[in-house]
Structure formats: C-alpha cells, structure tokens
A and B are shown apart, each in its own frame.
Chain A
C-alpha cells in the first residue's frame, strides 16, 4: 500500500499520464503458480517429487501471458490468479525458450471471460538507456502492488537459466523485498513493459532484466504459432590478448580478433566456410576486439555473440570476416539454430528415453544425468561418461545419442552382472546403437542361440550375453513389480 501511495503522491500530481500508466500495468499483472516435476535420473520411468513456485506474469495481447522459462519449465500444472486472488484459471505453455529464459502462456480455456475481462494487455516498450529509472512490480498477498525503483547501470550478455546461453541483459541496482517464491517479475518503464526480471542478487542488490530486444524477438518468433528459437553461429573461441599469441598468429599489434578453437559440424559457421584456427575479426560490419567485445551503437561495449543471437533471427544472412594465415576472408553466414548435440545440455520438459531389458537399464546420456551425481559431479560422475561429455567428437560416429547401461537391477537374467553400470553401448546383436529406438530394434533379433549379445565401447569384459527368453520373462515380472513401462 505504502509504495503505491508514494509513487502516486510524488509523481502522480505532476504527471497524470503516469497514474493512468500505473493502472494499465496493474491491470496486466497476473500471478503465475506452476507445479514442476522432473524425471528421476536413476529410475527414468519415475518422476521426482513435485515442487511449486509462484511469480508474476504480464498479460499481453491475444490473451497471452509472458513469464520466464524458469517458471514454465518442467511444469505439470500452471495456474493463473488475478491480483486480488479472487479468480484462478489453468494455463498452458504456448512457447518456451530455455536459452533466453522466456515463456509465453495462454489460458487453457479462453471462455473464462470473468478472469480475462478484468485484464488489459500491456504494451511492449522501447529499450532503456544507462541511468534510466525503472520500476520492478511485485504483488503483495493482499493484492496491493509494490513498485521498487531501480537504476539501470549497464547492459551485458548474461546466461540466466540454461548455462552457456548468453543474451542481452540489463543490470540495474535496486533493493527488492521477497514477496513470493520466485523473482520472475515484470520491469516497467514509462508504463510499458521493459523486460522481465530473471535474477536478483540480494547481496549486491543487482537486478538482471531480460532486455526488450530479446523479448520482442521472442514474441515475433511466436507469432506464427511455430516457435523456432534464437540463432547461433556454432563456433568456440579464445581471446587474442596474449601478445605472444598475436605474434604467432601474425596479428597486428593494434587490432582485435578472436581465435576460433572449434567449428561445430553442420553449424552456420561450417556452412559459411569458417575453419578452426581462423581469427574472427568482424561480424555484421562490427570489428571484434581481442576479448570479444564490439562497440554497440546503443549500449557501448557488448560481447560479440549479441550480434548473432540478439540481433538476428534464424535464416538471416550476415557478413563475417576472418583472418586465415594473416589473409582476410569475407564470408557470408546464414544463421541457423544450434546443432543438436550428442549429449544434450539439458532435458527440460523431456521424459528421458530408456529401455529396461532383463534388469539392465539403458538410457541416453545427457548433462542432466551427469549433474545428478551431485555438486561435485565433474569429479564424482563416471570418468568414461565425463570424457564423452568433454570430447563428444570421439563418440559421434554412427550415433544420434550416446546410449549407455545406467544400472543393473539384480534379476536371474543379470546374475553376475550386478556391478556393471555406466558402460557406453557400442553394439547389440551386431547392430550399431545410435539411440534408444535403435536399441529397442536391435533387441528384437537375438542370436540363433537365443542369446542377446551386448558389446560395450569399453569395459571389462567388452561383451556380455543375456538370455532372450529369460529376460523377456523378467521384463514381464518387472512390469508386475511396478515399473509402468519397459521403454520410452
């Protein structure tokens, strides 16, 4: 109550427009509560215990509600609630982008006029400047809104939800209070939506705001009902700050450039003819510095990846200049989505694929599985799986996904095999295993001796056998014992 009064009395008298603007914001705020559930990594047929979190969404045109991907990820049920908690409505996800941390929701039933009629869509605003004051909106339990002013201190490229995905983010200073379980909140400037708060550091009182450019691009992508996602060039880079390194690369003393250490197979970069060892000197006409920054017209020094991910969309072409053995090469890259990885970085909203055979549990490896080994997973997870994660190119041949034997349930068919786990699968019954469907297919044809042959990529022993009839009988038994399905 108090915050609202402060704003209206101080500013409202002078600028009546802002009072109207504040009402407009108030009428667009929706409480979002989502119940989230992930899948168990060790028993992939099970879901883990559900948890729930709540935050705010912003009502936009077409009855859509914008919130963060973090709020909508792994959701089993999303409920919308109006500000004074008098009405609720179930919602579904229209589009979700784990990389930029944005999600668009819609009511599952738009006939619920009573809920929607109280809402007014909020307009999207323009970008902000450094030094601008913006308002972060929260709702108190009693339905009153709470506005916290924050001053934008800078713009940077930040990865917020899924690691390794950097997008334009405003960093603002302000002291927020905690009103609900999550800081997914709208940030307003001049009565319009500037961005979504993605994280808040209470120690330094730094607020991260997903920039309007990113929200605009996200919403534009959702417009045709077919969400594509943000583009990527597909290279790994290293700085060229080291003068010795520059000398060796024959780079000029005053120039910039990034050393390209990897070009992903099938990526935009590979298609454009970029090679490992090239030095990236400009993107879309902007010279790139030795640490990877360029001079942005609006925000000053920004990391080069914004020129790709935040300034273009899939299908756009742009000019890329590289130095190859000291010689300048002008290349054109047609941007595409990042290439699919052998070991996916996350499995959000995806039920893990698996197969249970005679007590063996086979899965497809993901980073999510490895992080399941705890905080120190990089040293406690199995070394062979970590190696596959750090050098996937050694395992890519003939594989879509990396299938491995994640655990062995002791059964009569797996007697003597109890200690076999986390072995990567090479072949089953002579067939190369590219993913779980291929594995399921391979198990359909046991040898003439009635045995399945399982070959590991490495392991002692390299080959083991499983009785086809016995394992089928055990599979039936496992179903009776409560495993709902033998494969997914």
Chain B
C-alpha cells in the first residue's frame, strides 16, 4: 500500500499570528510589475488553521498553519487545493515579487476532490493579471511544468517533469475518494500544493500530493476533475460527487459465466452488492449482470471505453452531477432489462471521509465522554474493540445507518468516585441507556439529561454484559465535579 501525503508545509504559529491587522494596514497598490507575466497569477497562500481535538473535544484545538500555492483562473477566482485551506481561520494571498498580503476567503471547497476556490477581499490590485486557462489531460510522456511555492525558499519555484501515469487513485485529503490522478516525475514538495501544472501555457492539472516511499513522484489533479468542480459550483453551491452505490465483481470465472449463461465474449460485470438507500437501491439487485451504462458496454472487469481508453465504469458517473440520470442495461435471471437511476450524493458515506471545517460533537456525563463515530474520531482514538470496528466497517453495507444515525462511542472515562470501576468500558459502543437503544448522540444526550433523574442511569455497551450504573441522585454532582476537575469548558456540543 502506498502512503500518500498531502503536500502542505505545516508550521506552528502562535495565536498572535492570527491577527489580520498587519495585512490590512498596507496600502493597496497593483501587486506586480507587468513583465512577470504568468508568474504573477500564481500566488502564495498562507493559512492559519485551527484543527479540532477529537480526544478532548471541548478544547479549542491545535493552532497551526501552512503554505500552499494557488492560481488565478477568473475575476477574483483563485483555485487551490482544499487541503491548503482546510480548517483555516485566516487566509493571506501574496503575489510573486510583492510584499503585500491580501486577506482572502473560501468561496467553495470540495473535500472529496481536494479543490477549493478562493476570493480576496479586494480584487482591485489584481486587475489586469492574466487568468490561467484550464486545458486537457496531457499525453503520456509529454513534458509539464510545476510552478509554486514549495519549501526551501520564499520565492516562486519551477520544476519540470514528464507525465508517467494516468490512473484512478485515492485522494489522500478525504482518504475515501478515488478519482483520476496524473502521475508526473517532477518533485512535488510541501508548499507546491494547489499550484498549476502547465503545458503549452495552459493548466493541465493541479499539483496536490506526493509519495512518501518514492522520490521524484508527484501527483496532480487532472482537468476533468477540475472542470467538474467548476461546473458543479456554477449554481452557487458544491453538491459533491455522486456514486452508483454498487460493488461489482469481475466475471472472469468460467463456472460463474456458465451459471449466468454468458457467452465467451458477452459483456457484463456482476453486481455483488447494492448500497441500501443508494441510487441503485430498487433499480439493481444482487446477482444482476450490468451490461451497459448510458449505452457504453461494460466488460467483464467492469471497464468501459471512453475516448479510446478503457477506464473503470465509475468514470462515467464521475463526470455526472447530483440529479443526473444514468441508463442501466442489465440481465436479471437471464432476462435483459433496462432501468434508469437518479444519481445523488450518498450522505451516510461521510462516515468514511476525513471531515474538515467542523467542530466535533460530543456530550459528557459524570466523567463519561460520548462521541459519534466517524473517520476523524477513529483516527484520534484508534479503536481496538471488534464490535466498534465492525460497526464502522459495515455501517453502510449492513444498513446500520438506517437505524442508527450515529454510532455513539464511550470514548473516555475521566476518573471520578462514581465511575472508578468501569474503566474497561472506554472505547466501546453504547448500545442502550436505561433500556433504550441508542441511535444518535442527541438522543443519548437527552436520555442522560432528563428533567427528572431516574433512580439509576444504566448504560450498556456493545459486547459488555456488565452495565455502567450511575445512581440518579449522584449524577449531576459527578458531572459538575468532573467538569471542574478536568477543565471541561463545554459540557456538550450537539451541533
């Protein structure tokens, strides 16, 4: 497994550095001399970030920051990577050769494809600068230039490389999304992120990640992904990628082909499972043979032919938007059928994406800290419990999301006289409170904070027979005590 790392040089800044005052005091003059040409349109982005703390969610989090690159693609439209500006509290843009820092803000951010569009508060000084044009996918073996502000100096840097691979790959920013990626042999270093990759004066990609285990390997987001992002936000909001919501299994095995009555060369891939409530739920069924999407024949491996290239069939859906329809041709029990599915973003899949720009939800009760399970929480706590790992892994395919909006985890037990004997419950999923199945953090919070306290609060965790018992008359006092002892500034955050 390769390890991809987002290219963003992280530097720890103090709270004082967050003050935007110094940037605004400077006089506004045109940012660059005219002879800088295209370089002036490639800007340095300075982000001051605040990363939430999922271990102690009441805390403000970690203040830090980093440098990335962006480029002007239209009137007051700077394109960069989402990871350059994620969790940012302040953004400053500087132009090559100019000392001025211009406060900026995020217009649109797409974490699933690691792209963001920024605007500066005052565009006047940037007027007259060239807008970079977005071109096509570069050919294999062709040469490209990467321009940006990587580590090792303050001024602009240019490297050259050759396009060495065009493939579907994971975008490490969200860790759960896979899109088209172009690999080049130019070094892409921290700070290069969000910078343009140019060929014949046009943008052919956005530099975004490197490979820890290999030298001189950089990855860029190719233009179909960039264009899709720009089109998606045309209506003023980003609606995210859509997904078919099926998992396919290749039809290579002769016995399998015989069972489904497929000729040697007949097309089609097996539908191995359909995501409950997904776009294909009620359209496709397990064991259907999907033969074509929008008239493009699907082969036994699940590939389609687009623009002369064999690509995974999901590439068709990749270019679609929420609300678009796709025509599915398939064989069910030997009968050819045709149905259409309306594509949509599948919200429960968020469970598996790293999330940015949000504050963690939690509630506390008598020293117990309850948090909803998601990728961020998982990364912070590294759960070992088999039940928790299973709930996470099968949240969607076993339709757990239909019953449980949240998987509530008892993440931490802050020692208190009322809870000293239940330490082994930490890291387990909460199954019920006072006999009621726990289905969301809000509900768990309500059950733990009723108007009239019951005789006992009985909290049962999954896979643990012995419940946690907190006497009703001691709970409020224990909550108060642990809040003051452990510096819990906020007892709960449900939104």
Contact = CB atoms under 8 A, between A and B. Distances in A.
Q: Do A and B belong to a common assembly?
A: yes
A379 B249 CA distance: 27
A5 interface: no
B383 to A, nearest CB: 10
Given A242-B421, A390-B463, A415-B253, A247 B471 contact: yes
A465 B273 contact: no
Contacts of B418: 244
20 contacts: A236-B465, A244-B418, A244-B456, A245-B469, A248-B458, A259-B466, A378-B384, A387-B390, A390-B463, A391-B387, A415-B254, A449-B258, A451-B255, A460-B247, A460-B272, A461-B273, A461-B287, A464-B253, A465-B256, A467-B254
Q: Closest 8 CB pairs between A and B?
A: A416-B252, A242-B421, A261-B465, A460-B272, A416-B253, A461-B272, A467-B255, A248-B469
Interface in B442-470: 456, 458, 463, 465-467, 469-470
B258 A465 contact: yes
Given A244-B470, A391-B386, A462-B286, 6 more contacts: A245-B469, A248-B456, A386-B386, A391-B387, A414-B253, A417-B253
Contacts of B273: 460-462
A383 B258 contact: no
B127 interface: no
Contacts of A129: none
B306 interface: no
A245 B466 contact: yes
Nearest to A468: B255
Interface string B241-252: 000000101111
Contacts of A460: 247, 249, 272-273, 397
Given A416-B251, A460-B247, A387 B386 contact: yes
Contacts, number: 97
A470 B471 contact: no
B387 to A, nearest CB: 7
Interface residues of B, number: 37
Nearest to A390: B386
B466 A470 contact: no
A466 B254 CA distance: 8
Contacts of B255: 413, 451-452, 465-467, 470
A168 B289 CA distance: 63
A245 B465 CA distance: 13
A383 B386 contact: yes
Contacts of B259: 449, 451, 465
A383 B256 CA distance: 27
Nearest to A452: B255
A276 B465 contact: yes
B468 to A, nearest CB: 8
Interface of B: 247, 249-256, 258-259, 270, 272-273, 286-287, 384, 386-387, 389-390, 393, 397, 418, 420-422, 456, 458, 463, 465-467, 469-471, 474
B253 A465 contact: yes
Interface string A397-440: 00000000000000011111100000000000000000000000
A379 B382 CA distance: 10
A389 B259 CA distance: 34
Say which size band chain A's interface belongs to. 35 or more
Contact of B465 (A262, A387, A470): A262
Nearest to A460: B272
Nearest to B465: A261
Most buried by A among B254, B387, B390, B471: B254
B254 A470 contact: yes
A451 B261 CA distance: 13
A451 B393 CA distance: 32
Contacts of A63: none
Contact of A461 (B286, B456, B469): B286
Contacts of B287: 461, 463
Nearest to B464: A261
Given A390-B387, A416-B251, A460-B249, A238 B466 contact: yes
Most buried by B among A244, A379, A467: A244
Contacts of A466: 255
A216 B420 CA distance: 42
Contact of B466 (A261, A416, A417): A261
A264 B351 CA distance: 36
B465 A238 contact: yes
Given A245-B421, A387-B390, A379 B465 contact: no
Contacts of B397: 460
